[in-house]
Amino acid sequence: MPLRNTPIRRKLVLVILLTCLTVMLLMRGAFFTYEYHTFREETQRELATLGRIVAANSTAALAFQNQDDATEVLAALRAERHVTAAALYDGSGRLFARFPAASADALPPAPGSDGYIFVGSRLAGFEPVLQKERRLGTLYLQVDTGAIMSEWLWGTFRIGLAVMAVVLLVAYGISRLFERQISQPILALVEVAQAVTARRDYSVRAKRLSNDEIGLLTTAFNQLLVQIHAQKTALDEHSIVGITDAGGILTYVNDKFCAISRYPREELLGHDHRRVSSGSHTKESIRDLWSTITQGRVWHGEFRNRTKDGAIYWIDTTIVPFLLPDGQPYEFVAISADITVQKQAQAEILKLNQELEHRVVERTAELEVANRELEAFSYSVSHDLRAPLRHIDGFAQLLGNRLNGVMDDTSRRYLDTVTGSAKRLGVLIDDLLVFSRMGRSEMRRSEVDTRQMIDEIVAEFQQETQGRKIEWSIEPLPIVHGDPPMLRQVWANLIGNALKYSRRRELARISITHRLDPADGHVFAVQDNGAGFQMEYAAKLFGVFQRLHHTNDFEGTGIGLANVRRIVERHGGKVWAVGRPDEGATFSFSLPTAHVTGLPVL
C-alpha cells in the first residue's frame, strides 16, 4: 500500500516509531564507536600490563640462562585464553623460550622495537626484560583480539537490542495515544461532510474538538457550510430546484418544487420528471434535451408542466449536468423559475393583438365604406350642388339681359349680388372638392424641379400682378421627389397668398428660401412683407375655412392653407407659419429628403 493512501493515524505511528528508531540507531552508533576505541585501548593496556608482569617473572630465568624456568613462566600464560603466542629472546636476540602452544613459525625471528601494535585481528608487541636498568632480553606477546571483539560485540548488541525494543514499545504506546487525538477530529469532520453530501442538509455543523490546526479546519469547514447554506437558502427562495441521478430519477426537490407542482415530496422523489409533465413537449425536443445534458452540456428551455390537480404551469429551466472526472454525468441539477404569469400575459397579449388586428380589419372596412360614402357625397356635391348654382347665375343674367334698360340701380345691385354670391358659392364648392380630392387621390411621385415649378407659377400670376412692384428673391432650390400636381398646389397657394397679402405695399418683397435640416430634410419658406398675422392665431391658419382676414380686405375661401397642410403631410413633411401683424408672414414647410435625387448645379 503506497504511503499516501495510508490512513493518517497509521502514518502518525509510523513517523513516531521511525523517528525513535533513527535516534536510537544514531545514538547507538556514536556510543559504539566510542566504546570500540576504549575497548582497543583497554586491550592494549591490559596486554602491556601482562607483558610487564611476565617480563618481571622472567628476569631470573634469563639471568641464569634457565630455559626450563622460562618456558614454565610462559606456560603460565595459558590462563589467559586469548594469548595465541609468547616468546622470550635473550640479550643477543636469540629465541630463548616459547609459549608451548605457539609454533616457531608464528614467532618473529628476532625481537623488534618495544611497544604493541594491532596487526589484523591480532595485537602483538615486544616488552623489555630488565634487571635494575640492565636489559637481559625481550618478551614477545601476541593475543587474538578478534575473539575478544566478537565477545564484546555480542554483549553490546544484545543490550542495544533490548533497549531499542523497550523504547519502541514505549514510543508506540505514546503515538497511539496522540494518534487518537489527531485523527478523531478529522474523522468527525469527514463524518459531517459525508452526512451533508448524502442528505444535502447544509444546516448541520461539525463539532470543534480542539484549538489546533484541525480546530481551524473545522471552523473553516463550518464557515463553508454556512456560506453554502446561505446560498442554497437564497436559491431556494427564488428558484424551483430539482436534482436527479444519471437516470433522471428525482433524488432531491426543494420546497418550491413541491409547492408549484402541488405534490408532496415523497410522491416526487424516486420518480422522473414525467411526474409533472403535461405531455405537450414533442419526443424530439425531449430527446434533444437528453442528448445535450448527457454530453455534459448545459440545457436551457421552457417546460409546460401539470400539477397534481391538473393545472398547467410554465417554468423556465436551466439543467446543469454534474460530471465525474471521466466526463460522465452522475447528477442533473434543474433550476427553474415560474413563468406561468408571463406566459399567461403573453397569451393574453397575443389574444389582444389578434382582437386588435380583427378590429383594425373591421375598422378599415368601415373606413372604406365611409370613404366610399364620402366619394359618393363629393360626387353628388360636384354634380348636384353646382347645377342649381349655375341656374341661379344663368337665370339672373338672363333676367338682367331681359330687363336691360328698364332696371333701376338698386335692382341691378340686387341682381349683381345674386350672381356674385352664386359665383362665390361655386368657388367654395370647387375648393372644397379639390381639398377632398387631395386627401383621397393616389399620390404619383416623380422628380420635381422646384425652381422650374416656381417660375411657371410666378408666370401664371403675372396677369394678376400687372402694374405691381414686386421684388423677388429666390434661393437655389433642389429637385425633390413628390406628386407634381400636389406640390404645384402647395407652391401656387403659398406664392398666391404672399402676392395677395402684400398687394397693399408699394414695393412687395417676396423671398423663397431653402435649407437642409438634419431632422426635417428640405425646409422651404415663402416670406412676404404683407399684412401678416397675429401669432396667437397661427394654429388656426391651416384649418379648413379658417380665415384671419375679412373677405372684404382679402378674398379667399379658407381652404388653401388647409390644402397645403394636407399635401405636405401626405408627403411626410410639416407646415408652420411665423408672422406679425403688418410686418409680413413666413410660411415654411418641410419635405423629407429620403427621396432626394440631388441638388441641381446652379
Partner 1 sequence: MSQIHSILLAEDNPHDVELTLAALGMHHLANQIIVAPDGAETLDYLYCRGKYQGRSDGNPALVLLDLKMPKVDGLEVLRTMKLDPALQPVPVVMLTSSREEQDLVRSYRLGVNAYVVKPVDFQAFVDAVRQVGIFWAMHNQPPPGSGTTNPRAAQSP
Give the range of 29-37, 47-55, 70-78, 389-397 binding partner 1 by CB under 8 A: 389-397
Binding mask 413-442 vs partner 1 (x if CB under 8 A, - otherwise)?
------x--xx-xx---x--x---x---x-
Name the DSSP class of 277. Answer: B
Looking at the Cβ atoms of 393 and 528, the one nearer to partner 1 is: 393
Output the smallest distance, CB 552 to partner 1, in A. Answer: 21
Instruction: Provide the Cα torsion 161, 166, 168, 169; round to 10°.
Output: 140
- Is residue 391 a contact point for partner 1 (CB under 8 A)? yes
145 or 436, CB closer to partner 1? Answer: 436
Scan residues 123-162 and list those touching partner 1 (CB under 8 A). Answer: none
Contact pick of 383, 404, 462, 594 for partner 1 (by CB under 8 A): 383
Answer for which of 59, 277, 382, 546 binds partner 1 (CB under 8 A) is: 382
SS3 for 316? Answer: strand
184 touching partner 1, by CB under 8 A: no
Are 559 and 435 a contacting pair, CB within 8 Å? yes
The interface mask with partner 1, positions 42-71, x = CB under 8 A, is: ------------------------------
> Which residues are within 8 A (CB) of 248 and not within 5 positions of it... i.e. 6 or more apart?
272, 273, 290, 332
Q: For the packed helices 409-440 and 386-402, what is the interaxial angle rounded to 10 degrees?
A: 160
Contact 419, 390 (CB under 8 A): no
Q: Which of 393, 431, 483, 528 forms a contact with partner 1 (CB under 8 A)?
A: 393
Rounded to a whole number of angstroms, the minimum distance from the CB of residue 370 to partner 1 is: 18
Report the alpha-carbon distance of residue 412 to residue 186 in Å, rounded: 128
Residue 579 has which C-alpha cell? Answer: 408672422
Helix 67-75 to helix 8-63 angle (10° resolution) is 160
Least distance CB 427 / partner 1 (angstroms):
8
Count of positions on this chain that bind partner 1 (CB under 8 A): 25
Which stretch in 394-402, 468-476, 504-512, 569-577 sits in contact with partner 1 by CB under 8 A? 394-402
Q: Exactly one of 384, 408, 506, 536 binds partner 1 (CB under 8 A); which one?
A: 384
If the CB atoms of residues 297 and 391 are measured against partner 1, the closer one turns out to be 391
Residue 279: exposed, middle, or buried by beta-carbon count in 10 A (0-12, 13-18, 19+)? exposed
Residue 58 phi, psi dihedral angles, 5° rounding: -90, -5
Which grid coordinates are listed for 220?
473553516
Under 8 Å between Cβ of 62 and 89: no
Residue labelled with grid coordinates 630465568 = 61
For residue 4, state whether it binds partner 1 (rule: CB under 8 A): no
Is the Cβ–Cβ distance between 544 and 436 less than 8 Å? no
CB of 392 to partner 1, least distance (A): 9
Residues making contact with partner 1 (CB under 8 A): 378-379, 382-384, 386-387, 389-391, 393-398, 419, 422-423, 425-426, 430, 433, 437, 441
